[in-house]
Amino acid sequence: MKRRTFFKYTLPSVVMPALLGGFKMKAFAGNPLLYGLTGAKNNGRILVVIQLAGGNDGLNTVIPVEFYRAYKNARPNIAIAEEKILRLNGYDKTGLNPAMSLMQQLFNDNQLAIVQAVSYPQPSFSHFRATDIWLTGEESNQDLNTGWMGRYLNRLYPNFPTNYPNSIMPHPLAIQIGSIISPGLQGPAFPMAMAISNPDSFYTMLNEKATATTTSFSQDQIDFIRQVSEKTDAYADVIKAAAKKITTQSGKYAEKGKNPLSDQLKIVSRLIAGGLQTKIYMVSMSGFDTHAKQTDATDTSIGAHAGQLQKLSEAIAAFMDDLKMQQVADRVVGMTFSEFGRRIKSNASGGTDHGIAAPVFVFGQPVQAGIVGSNPLLPDNATGNDNIAMQHDFRAVYATLLKNWLGEKDADMQDILQKDFATLPLIKKV
């Protein structure tokens, strides 16, 4: 098996046999997720990416109040009652799902932006293919072996892992919390990001407890895995040192185990506040593939989808509160994405089927709050084939964060995103 093929198809389902004092970690194949400390890249800014796996129903998340009649006609069995929609300051035509009161507050406090109808040309309705496209930043007819974040960070430290860690970059280059190794962090040559397998392993590591692990890799990958293990071990002390600096965090996080996203973001905040120079963090939550019973049969403001949105809202709000408490909120911007949206018309099972465009949230103190784009147009009599039309290419969101937040040069966009996309008004001008 070629190493590149091994990276792409094997790593997402395996755990690297590297232990940090009992802390099981994963290595991301070819993921040069690095921290830019030299020249213009020495800005201390951090990006947190939240993946909403399954295809979030954007139309029941950000609700087009101005087209409420058409919305209700299209979704008689799952439409949110108009009086329960959460309203947004300055945007009377648009509201949020009732489960998102804490994100409503962030919006009204000028710390949340909503990008309407985000997708790409010739979209895929396959979870796997659509996820690949979002994470690699490729065209729908391409098959890239690197991720958009990986290409960005590879430009900063193209020679990793040679001579790393070092005095310029002594810390992990990027961290993902969760069990999925993301193609978005894929670089051209080597695993350059670390992943904490789960929150329990993180706290086990801090308590210096050993955790058993096994591995069964093919012989032709042993050298690669050994090198990964060496790099993983090299970062053990700095990760633990950063985490142990922070002994108090926001009390707004959910009780451990009640909200997996909250558990993940709590660790991210702790590592950022503890001084890790890691540039990009990635976390995820699943459960957005709502084909049936999306809402409660008697009250559409609650149910499976609302439960997910409430966890998302609570986790982001607690994270933001913690960043402020740790005095690092001005250094962090976060974004959410899902591989696709859902159809305009609900189905007979009280759910929604795979669709095209959906909103993206961008949050943080440095964010220029507001709504980018307009409410999606809805037909008066939607059919099962009707979709929300794209207004913004997802790579325009990436371009905005790369240029206006992380400080990447315009000249590098061709290499990172294959072409130059116009930026969106998402980051406050300094």
pLDDT over 60 (residue 92): yes
How many Å is the maximal CA-CA distance in the chain?
63
Q: State the Cα–Cα distance between residues 286 and 178, nearest whole angstrom.
A: 11
CB 281 within 8 A of CB 49: yes
Confidence of residue 289 (pLDDT cuts 50, 70, 90): very high
* pTM for the predicted model, two decimal places: 0.88
Q: State the Cα–Cα distance between residues 395 and 401, nearest whole angstrom.
A: 10
Q: State the Cα–Cα distance between residues 128 and 335, nearest whole angstrom.
A: 20
Q: Using alpha carbons, list the distances in angstroms from residue 197 to 24, 200, 201, 280.
A: 6, 8, 7, 17
- Quote the distance between the C-alpha of residue 170 and its chain's center: 25
Single-letter code of the amino acid located at 53 = A
Instruction: Tokens for 413, please give them.
Output: 């966009």
Mean pLDDT of the chain: 86
pLDDT over 90 (residue 57): yes
Q: State the Cα–Cα distance between residues 257 and 46, nearest whole angstrom.
A: 26
**Most confident region among 37-51, 205-219, 367-381 by mean pLDDT:** 367-381
CB 267 within 8 A of CB 246: no
pLDDT at 157: 78
32 prior amide bond cis, ω within 30: no
DSSP 116-162: EEEE-SS----HHHHHHHHHHT--TT---SS-HHHHHHHHH-TTTTT
Confidence of residue 11 (pLDDT cuts 50, 70, 90): very low
pLDDT over 60 (residue 362): yes
Q: Which of 118, 119, 75 is nearest to 97 (CA)?
A: 75
Tokens 């700095």 locate to 238
Q: What average pLDDT score do residues 188-196 get? A: 76
Q: What is the 3-state secondary structure (H, E, C) of 356-390?
A: CCEEEEEECCCECCEEECCCCCCCCCCCCCCCCCC
pLDDT at 24: 33
pLDDT at 209: 63
pLDDT tens per residue, range 239-267: 899 999 999 999 999 999 999 999 999 99
pLDDT at 188: 85
pLDDT at 6: 42
pLDDT over 80 (residue 160): no
Instruction: Give the list of residues 6+ apart from residue 37 with CB closer than 8 angstroms, or none.
Output: 168, 169, 277
Domains and CATH numbers, the chain: 3-417 (3.40.720)
The pLDDT > 70 percentage for the chain reads 83
If one compares 158 and 429, the residue with the highest pLDDT of the two is 429
pLDDT at 256: 95
If one compares 295 and 172, the residue with the highest pLDDT of the two is 295
Instruction: Tokens for 181, please give them.
Output: 């190794």
pLDDT at 343: 98
Q: Which of 192, 117, 126, 121 is nearest to 153 (CA)?
A: 192
pLDDT at 10: 37
Own/partner pairs, 252-255, CB within 8 angstroms, 24+ separation: 252/314, 252/317, 252/318, 252/321, 252/322, 253/315, 253/318, 253/322, 254/311, 254/314, 254/315, 254/318
DSSP 307-364: HHHHHHHHHHHHHHHHHHHTT-GGGEEEEEE-S--B-SS--TTSS--B-S-EEEEEES
Confidence of residue 397 (pLDDT cuts 50, 70, 90): very high
pLDDT over 80 (residue 219): no
Q: Which of 225, 167, 286 is nearest to 19 (CA)?
A: 225
The pLDDT > 90 percentage for the chain reads 69
pLDDT tens per residue, range 315-356: 999 999 999 999 999 999 999 999 999 999 999 999 999 999
Q: State the Cα–Cα distance between residues 366 and 341, nearest whole angstrom.
A: 27
pLDDT at 161: 76
